[in-house]
A = this chain, B = another copy of it.
């Protein structure tokens, strides 16, 4: 029987992850997190990392069954525990110059049958313990990237109608296509894709819009943009000057909205898969940047819990534009995974903003980011509001309208 995962494309994905995603520098150490099932990809990445001159590659592998053992057996106060020692160690590694690669692709429904309160507490404890390491990632204090592994359980969720073998094959091929590693010359193809994304972000930066206005079915939304916001796409430069691609794949052009200047209503155009729960048909209303009303036809309790995480969880930290014709959108697949689904459609994110989405953001402290309208939160959750029926106008600083997207495509 044929391997459901094409070994040639898998090796290309590893090479793209190291050379484009990380742009790993000779002598850099690498901290690599992955679900244990992704071991074949971990091994390919380790090989390409050492070929690129890595110092030491340290894989940190997680196992879904160990996680489930916790939910099945642990006493109640376990759910407030987190591995702070490990995350603080990672932060120390980044400070000493280590790069960071995350392989996404565990079972998205892993915790769907567990007590939501325990899940929420465990996530909160994790988010707090992770804050130091996350801070270095969001500041691009080091080069980092995320790539995906076609996990068997994830594949079953995406294609329940197929056999296990065919489902994994379909997901693997979709990941390879979205990650632009189908053909030879993948590294070079990525460089031209980056250049195209760079042209879009440069145009938007030149416009320096005050706000974006969205209209479409159930959506009439104005998103003010932060003062001195910068549009970012594709490759990002670290504070030490390394150009990395933090997401493989990436199709979005995104910036920081103003946390106080968002108003109107918006409907999600795709379900949001959040830690095992599918939240469907989200509809929210903003006043002065804050979500004052939120509904969903399914998973609403989980959504409300997310919004109650902290004050910043009800405000926006990202606005992103993705053309409806992007390869991931055209695949028609729902991946139940933000890395892919957020590149299938224009989206917004609740929670923490990226200080890199400001001109001169690398030199701003959190007060300065807040003063310019940047949002702060323990969460960052993307959800899709784009489709082939959405029009977006830019509102210039002098109040004029400039078409940005029409029916989901660049105007």
Task: Contacts A36-B36, A83-B56, A86-B58 given; indicate if A78 touches B50 (C-beta within 8 A).
Answer: yes
Residues of chain B with a CB closer than 8 A to A403's CB = none
**Choice from B50, B66, B77 contacting A70 with Cβ under 8 Å:** B50
Residues of chain B with a CB closer than 8 A to A55's CB = 77-78, 81
Q: Using a CB–CB distance below 8 Å, which chain A residues touch chain B?
A: 26-27, 29, 31, 36, 39, 42-43, 46-47, 50-51, 53-63, 65-66, 69-70, 72-75, 77-78, 81-83, 85-86, 88-90, 92-93, 96, 98
Residues of chain B with a CB closer than 8 A to A54's CB = 74, 78
**Choice from B27, B50, B62, B77 contacting A73 with Cβ under 8 Å:** B50
Residues of chain B with a CB closer than 8 A to A51's CB = 73
* B58 near A46: Cβ-Cβ < 8 Å: no
> A81–B73 Cα gap in the complex (Å)?
38
> A210–B328 Cα gap in the complex (Å)?
77
* A58 near B83: Cβ-Cβ < 8 Å: yes
* A86 near B89: Cβ-Cβ < 8 Å: yes
Residues of chain B with a CB closer than 8 A to A74's CB = 50, 53-54
Residues of chain B with a CB closer than 8 A to A89's CB = 85-86, 88-89, 92
> A342–B86 Cα gap in the complex (Å)?
33
> A110–B66 Cα gap in the complex (Å)?
27
> A370–B380 Cα gap in the complex (Å)?
59
Residues of chain B with a CB closer than 8 A to A90's CB = 85
* B36 near A39: Cβ-Cβ < 8 Å: yes
Nearest opposing residue in chain B for A90, CB measure: B85
Nearest opposing residue in chain B for A57, CB measure: B66
What are 24 of the A-B contact pairs (CB < 8 Å)?
Answer: A36-B39, A36-B61, A43-B63, A43-B65, A50-B69, A50-B70, A50-B78, A53-B75, A54-B78, A56-B78, A56-B81, A56-B83, A57-B66, A57-B69, A58-B86, A59-B62, A60-B60, A61-B61, A85-B93, A85-B96, A85-B98, A86-B89, A88-B92, A89-B92
> A81–B55 Cα gap in the complex (Å)?
6
* B60 near A29: Cβ-Cβ < 8 Å: no
By Cβ-Cβ distance, the 6 closest A-B pairs, closest first, are A89-B89, A50-B73, A56-B81, A85-B93, A55-B81, A50-B74
**Choice from B26, B66, B75, B96 contacting A43 with Cβ under 8 Å:** B66
* A81 near B29: Cβ-Cβ < 8 Å: yes
What is the minimal beta-carbon distance from A399 to any residue of chain B, in angstroms? Answer: 52
Chain B CB count within 10 A is highest, among A43, A50, A82, for: A50
Nearest opposing residue in chain B for A44, CB measure: B69
What is the minimal beta-carbon distance from A25 to any residue of chain B, in angstroms? Answer: 12
Nearest opposing residue in chain B for A65, CB measure: B43
> A69–B42 Cα gap in the complex (Å)?
11
> A88–B91 Cα gap in the complex (Å)?
12
> A75–B110 Cα gap in the complex (Å)?
40
Given contact pairs A39-B65, A61-B61, A85-B96, a sample of 14 additional A-B residue pairs in the complex whose CB atoms are under 8 Å apart: A36-B39, A39-B63, A42-B66, A47-B72, A50-B74, A54-B74, A55-B78, A56-B70, A57-B69, A59-B61, A85-B89, A85-B98, A88-B92, A89-B89
